[in-house]
């Protein structure tokens, strides 16, 4: 009897979650290659666009870079269903010549809780 009740409870919770809908950040592009950049020219930036393809407001809880040399900027207000948002990522090559590959983990309230964005390139040292 307890087993039947547990199964019934699990199915009920799952059905309620489906009925309530969800938010979802959909990123058409999840990586950017800066190519070759000059260390002396300073920071470079790119923007990753996304759409809330869910039917509930999307909240970007946080965006965490794999290194202090990379700074993500993200919207702090909820993104309505069907609307677009942007995450700007800035990489600082000073003191970091050579190839780089950095990740940004974007945490949301969406169905897929974490999306990983990647930036790559090569910084030519100062001369």
Pairing of strands 44-52, 31-38: unpaired
Beta 44-52 vs 60-65: how paired, if at all?
unpaired
User: Count of alpha carbons within 13 Å of 20, Cβ hemisphere only?
Assistant: 11
Coil, helix or strand at residue 111: coil
What are the tens digits of pLDDT across the range 42-69?
A: 999 999 999 999 999 999 999 999 999 9
pLDDT at 126: 83
pLDDT in tens, 66-108: 999 999 999 999 999 999 999 999 999 999 999 999 999 999 9
pLDDT in the model for residue 1 = 55
What confidence score (pLDDT) does residue 6 get? 45
> What global pTM score does this model have?
0.82
Kindly report, residue by residue over 9-30, the tens digit of the pLDDT.
444 444 444 447 999 999 999 9
Structural domains in the chain, CATH included, are 23-124 (2.60.40.10)
pLDDT class for 7, splitting at 50, 70, 90?
low
pLDDT of residue 5: 47
- Give 58: exposed, middle or buried? Use CB within 10 Å, 0-12, 13-18, 19+: buried
């Amino acid at each position: 009897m307890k087993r039947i009740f547990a199964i019934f409870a699990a199915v009920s919770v799952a059905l309620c979650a489906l009925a309530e809908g969800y938010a979802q950040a959909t990123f058409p592009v999840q990586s950017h290659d800066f190519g070759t950049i000059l260390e002396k020219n300073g920071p470079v930036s790119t923007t990753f666009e996304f759409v809330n393809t869910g039917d509930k407001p999307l909240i970007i809880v946080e965006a965490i870079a794999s290194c202090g040399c990379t700074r993500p900027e993200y919207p702090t207000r909820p993104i309505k269903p069907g609307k677009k948002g942007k995450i700007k990522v800035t990489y600082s090559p000073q003191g970091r010549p050579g190839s780089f590959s950095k990740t940004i983990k974007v945490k949301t309230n969406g169905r897929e809780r974490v999306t990983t964005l990647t930036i790559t390139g090569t910084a030519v040292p100062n001369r």
